[in-house]
Amino acid sequence: MLTLLRVAVAGAVFLLAAVLAVAPRPFSSPIRKVANYRADSREPIYNYPLDAAAIRRAGAIVSSSGRTTYYIDTRPLPQLGHDLIGATLLFFLPARPVPSPRDADWVFQYRPAGRKRWLARRTYDVGDGIRLLRIR
């Protein structure tokens, strides 16, 4: 039941919260943290600075090809490899990653170290130095 006391107390709490929300740091720090004043994008927060838009573009192509397989061709950096596996598992399904290009329908080249030559049936440039090759 609403009473004058309850309205006044609740109003005071809401007012205090509003003041803290617009106050300078450090007073607003807890609210800034919880409300995430610097909003994130829809993308995963990758550990390695991946080109998220390119991965989405490649994912749209590979995932629409059904239960195919793909091979990741990139530089020998553990964090980069880790994040590319996770990102492709997220966006490339139902396609499945394989450890060898011999078993792959697709090669996902993410700024690879060397210039391996692939006999590609079709090539998609999805980002800067990021290509998707249909090899089978």
Partner 1 sequence: MGYVGGVLAFNLVCTAVGYCVLAPALRGLRARTIATYAGVALLAGTAIVGVTLCFVAPFGARIGLLAFAISAAALSAAGLAAARFLPPLVRARPATAPSPPSRLADAVATAAAAGIAVVLVLVLVGGFRSSPWLDDTWYFWLPKGRALDTVGLDPRLWRPDPSLHVFFGHDYESLYFIRPDNPLWWSVVLNLVMRFVGTIDMRAVNGELAFLLVGFVGATARLLWGRIRPWLLLPGLLLLLSAPELLRQTQGGDADVPLAIYLALTVLAAVGWLAERSRFALVLAFVFGAAAIQIKSEGVLELVLDLAILSVLAWRARRALLPLWGAVALAFATSVPWLVWRSRHDVTNVFSLRNALSPSYLSHHTNLLHGGLRILGDNFTSVHKWSLLVPLAVLLGVVAAIRDRRLVWLAPPAFLGFGYAFFVWISWADPEGAFRLVASAYRYVTPPIVLAAVFLPLLAERIVAPRPKTTGTASASAATK
Binding site for partner 1 (CB under 8 A): 3, 5-6, 9-10, 12-14, 17, 30-31, 33-36, 39-47, 63, 67, 72, 74-78, 80-83, 85-87, 89-91, 93-94, 96-99
Q: Give me 100's structure tokens.
A: 């060898």
- Cβ 133 to partner 1 shortest distance, Å: 18
Q: Which is nearer to partner 1, 27 or 121 (CB)?
A: 27
Residue with tokens 């950096």: 77
Q: Which is nearer to partner 1, 91 or 121 (CB)?
A: 91
- Cβ 104 to partner 1 shortest distance, Å: 11
- Cβ 129 to partner 1 shortest distance, Å: 17
| φ, ψ of residue 15 in degrees (nearest 5) | -65, -45
Q: Which residues pair with 124 in a beta bridge?
A: 132
The count of other CB atoms within 10 Å of the CB of residue 135 is 17
Helix 78-91 × helix 52-63 angle, to 10° = 50
- Cβ 79 to partner 1 shortest distance, Å: 8
Q: Which is nearer to partner 1, 91 or 106 (CB)?
A: 91
| Residue 66 backbone class (left: φ over 0; alpha: ψ -120 to 50; beta: rest) | left
